[in-house]
A and B are shown apart, each in its own frame.
Chain A
């Protein structure tokens, strides 16, 4: 599903983020990258979804060599992924429902189906009552849940979560984890990055520690 072969990333000769990361994530697996802020978790996630090229090494996602893909092939690959970004990236001037429907329609889903799916996933993350509100009217935690609904509404094979719980309270965290556990159980591979160690207590999946040297 995901294979990293000797992946290194540096932004300048003296600014190496990580080096020689080797990793194999199987289909249906749930893997956590844990590490301190600034250690490179988001950079690694961006490399996985092709937003950043690695400085060295090869990366295969869903059997595709990410760094060799052209625009069209990369868009096809990303279509199979659901991504929850660390900076959430909701459209502030569009209601929650439209934030999801727009993406689905742009991906080719019919308007009716897009609405049905958006409603279903907003219901599952507990945000259906806020569907007509704009993101700026919501708390950061609520925005994170909308972003999660948006990623899940794509019904992806691979779900990438970058700091998904950073603004959720403990109760919300448990609810979301329960939902993700169910999705993972149904076959969706999950790759998540977090600096919150507490979540480990009730997390299923493989936990990897990202350090300055690489993965431990």
Chain B
């Protein structure tokens, strides 16, 4: 076993310990604050698998989370901190809703057009911080976070002025045309064709990142930008392309979510899926193949927290503790690294001894 494999193994262990530690902290908090902690814990941890409907809820929620996780994984692989996935997703939801309401198209073509419009919106939104970065080297983290707020207002404006259903009492759109909806996979649940799309997206992302020249450049730039520039890679263009791919994924995810899960636009604020996508990307270490696992995990604790919220006295916001804990512990280089170093040292010693003999 070489030191690289030790490193990889410890990355997995570190991730699992980080998740376990964060879950542990959340459980302790639940035990402290709840009047009926065992009921709360049961619903939180086991709740999502107690019925088929709830389990399908987990999978439904995992679809947008995976799309956003893939988007952020692609972008973060290149060492960028563009968080406009949130705004891309949300704005795409709004434009998709417009397309689903205002366009008159035959059944199969209508959802396809909706998906294309959502994807284009995602690319457009993500392109703004990407171009600002490319042209003027403007900090993409701050610009993308500011852009997310602007996206929230633009989307609300579009819905409010174009397709508002004033009978709702909240800012929501009128119903989508029935031709626009994606078909359901399992009767009686909301699990939709998006599940197939997301599997394709995972495969395409993995192939792009690990089996193409573009993907190699992206990972190389993320590893060492100066080296990549020195060795003749077109750094600026590659960074722009990978961010636009991220925007396309988030936009497509938003469009899928809209016409797969809902019959009208009724979000009242940002969905936070873009930020969840970042958490997922970090757990998966930016590897698209691991993104769905991380997404299902997050979706599971989300669904569990939601059930707990409804059935006990513990609010679902407890999961922010888990999320923050996981991020901080996974990205901490020194967390558990003494063990890793010891293993590497021991192994090197063994090898030296073997040589001497």
> Does chain A bind chain B?
no
Interface residue ranges, B against A (CB under 8 Å): none
Chain A residues with CB under 8 Å of chain B are none
